Amino acid sequence: MAEITYRQALRDTLREALLSDESVFLMGEEIGIFEGSYKITAGLLKEFGPKRIVDTPICENGFVGMAIGAAMLGLRPIVEIMTINFIALAMDEIVNHAAKIYYMFGGQCSVPLVIRTPGGGGQQLAATHSQSLEVWFAHVPGLKVVAPSTPADAKGMLRTAIRDNNPVIFLEHLALYNSKGEVPNGDYMVPFGQAKVTKEGTDVTVISYSRMATIALDVAYRMEQEHHLSVEVVDLRSLRPLDTQTIATSLKKTNRAVFFEEGWRSFGVGAEIAATLQEEAFDFLDAPIKRVASVEVPLPYSKPLERAALAGAEQLMEAINELAPRHRR
């Protein structure tokens, strides 16, 4: 296995898809000559040309609509939205068309479309460029929504997304692009709807996804070393479809759970997980399910204020300590 960055894992997978399938092409703002805002598409225009690497105008509703049409006619477009904050401009195309065409056409026409987009805070990009809006899309039947946290999962899940005949929202966190990890060799794929236990434990389960899953794993090892607590970590990886069996099985083992997300607490992914666990594993709960999320304000530009608003390791540690068996009376 080679150790590569999250960014390289994505680029390698896009190049591999372009080489292996002539129906695959990329679309997005500045992905060609400029090589993408985050350099995911570096070198691809030179190698594949402007018919396969399409620089688009600053018009998300226009080029997402064009991609849907291309997918309906047999191509496999991969769209890059510069940041998830701009995806609001294409909500009609994604929610009212991409998600519903297969159903409304009685299965006669599929939409094999991948929409890649980065999001999340911590980069001092202020309120309109630092949001976690994935719950919007996880709410919509007809869409698949995934959020890998490691280079290995980024590569395996992007392969799965490209070969899927349904529209996939592929979420990337800005802070993960430079992270490194071992990536298996060969043409492996990571199936959607399968969460992963990244650390076994017996005292508390922490459930998360994307960048927060990597922070949760670091916290779990820290709690083990500093507080002698055995923390199990579950990385959802996929928000729709959602693997409820793995999280329920973990809760039945530890009897306590914390959901850790960067998004806002109200109506968030954590609310869905808490409701699911209450329905499927209520008898195994020894304490209320806790949710750790960011402060519900537009994210400030100021670095100290941004840090104060975002959920982080300290808040997660506090929640784990409150739930830990040794604190129960």
Q: Show which residues are catalytic.
A: 60, 129
Distance of CA 11 to the CA centre of its chain: 17
Q: Which of 291, 318, 289, 293 is nearest to 227 (CA)?
A: 318
| H helix runs in 81-238, sequence order | 91, 101-104, 134-138, 151-163, 210-227
Q: For residue 205, give the H/E element and its range.
A: strand 204-208
User: Using CA atoms, how far apart are residues 325 and 317, in angstroms rounded to an integer?
Assistant: 14
Question: Would you state the structure tokens that stand for residue 222, as one six-digit string?
Answer: 């820290």
For residue 201, what are the contacts with CB-CB under 8 A and spacing of at least 6? 220, 224, 229, 230, 231, 232, 233, 254
Pairing, β 168-173 against β 114-119: parallel
**Number of residues written out for the chain:** 329
- Strand, coil or helix: 243: coil
